[in-house]
Amino acid sequence: MKWLLANGNLVLRDSILENTNLVINENKIEAIEKDSSMTDFNEIIDVKGCYVLPGFIDLHCHGGYGADVMDASLEAIGTISRFHAEGGTAYFLTTTASDSLENLQKVLQILRTNKNVIRGAKTLGAHLEGPYFAQKKHGCHLPQFVRTPSESETSLLLEYKDVIRSITIAPEIPGALSLIKRFSENGIVVSLGHTECSYDEALKAVEMGASHVTHLYCAMSGIIKNGVERKGGLIETALLEDRLSAEIIADGIHVPSELIRLAVKAKGMDKICVVTDAMRGAGMPEGIYTFGSMRGQEAVVKAKMAVVKEGTGLASSVFKMNEMFCHMYNNLGYSYTELASMFSYNPACVLSVQEKIGSIEQGKMASFTILNRDHEVEATIVEGKPVYLRKAAFNKSEK
């Protein structure tokens, strides 16, 4: 099937092509052209000057519409996919919370056996957030599940290396360096986070293969003072070290604007990825929701914030990608091309899939986030198929 996505303002890597057409053949971009002969296509979707961005890629996403990945059901993952497709997410990493090995295996098994059945944002595999954290930096993860890695548990997890795409780990805990080496040798992205590590400890992890940093500034060490001595923590390592990319929760709540600007200034536009870190209360009425499984940490969702019950910290976000896009555009002033890097191309690079997805180029997957001028999502298209269309979004003409 060949169809035309007509009259888009296409956001490319370094420019915007106005009123341009995309020829889609099955799941790929066959051509980018100004004038198309309208008779050649099975279907034409006229997007009438909306912005067509490469489909957003969310490297850190736990839930939405009342569901969490740790519910460990296909239905829950489908609900999360549907919710985030409405926010322009084309791809996401199904992100687990710290839990028992058995419950993590349940999620991994579902991802393995149901790779292509979910309709909505497409999962690229799992991001294991934990359970190997510094005890004091567990954040909203239940402390009883936080532990140090063993060689045997690492081996059992590596049996799922076909579906695990990344893992967040604190590099200073016993056994961490061996896990980092084994996971990165198996092509899994090792991300540093939930940690009290020093600059030296973080650098050792980079030498072992760590390449990414989980929600920069949140649940991690900054300048460490010990007596008269000061050392850098993970924040300083992330800002300084070119071998590390970093993700940021750009909801305007977790991290103030000046810290986002500092990160972009220090690391450059090509090393920052925006993530939602969304939890099950995203897209739901205000109330109490658990982070992780139904037995997880309770959080109060109110005024677009999820706060742990004791009021001591945030428990993930309740945002969609397009809402973060809005924040980064309106309040921080980044351009569309810069945001396309931070929302699509950079996360594709983190996962080494930038040859297939992450930008609008001939031969790449036809995955797009289509935004109107108010940054509302008009459509999300994944590999040639619309997975979300706002009501009466566009005139479709079929033949």
Q: Which residues bind Zn ion (CB under 5 A)?
A: 129, 277
| Minimal distance, residue 168 CB to Zn ion, in Å | 8
Which CB atom, from 98 or from 354, has the smaller least distance to Zn ion?
98
Q: Judging by beta carbons within 10 Å of its beta carbon (0-12, 13-18, 19+), is residue 113 exposed, middle or buried?
A: exposed
| Minimal distance, residue 129 CB to Zn ion, in Å | 5
Which CB atom, from 97 or from 377, has the smaller least distance to Zn ion?
97
What does the block give as tokens for 25? 């053949």
In angstroms, the Cα distances linking 134 to 143, 383, 392 are 10, 39, 49
Which CB atom, from 85 or from 275, has the smaller least distance to Zn ion?
275
Rounded distance between C-alpha atoms, residue 217 and residue 193, angstroms? 9
Which CB atom, from 44 or from 314, has the smaller least distance to Zn ion?
314
Q: What is the DSSP string of 169-204?
A: E-TTSTTHHHHHHHHHHTTPEEEE-SB--BHHHHHH
Which CB atom, from 205 or from 306, has the smaller least distance to Zn ion?
306
Peptide bond into 171 cis (omega under 30): no
| Minimal distance, residue 295 CB to Zn ion, in Å | 17
Quickly tell me which residue has 């940490």 as its tokens: 297
Q: How many CB atoms lie within 10 A of CB 137?
A: 19
| Minimal distance, residue 185 CB to Zn ion, in Å | 25
* Residue, CB closest to Zn ion: 277
Instruction: Tell me which residues are annotated as active site.
Output: 277
Alpha-carbon Rg for the chain in angstroms? 21
| Minimal distance, residue 182 CB to Zn ion, in Å | 23
**Alpha helices in the chain, H assignment, sequence order:** 74-85, 101-113, 151-158, 176-185, 199-207, 234-240, 257-267, 321-330, 336-340, 346-350
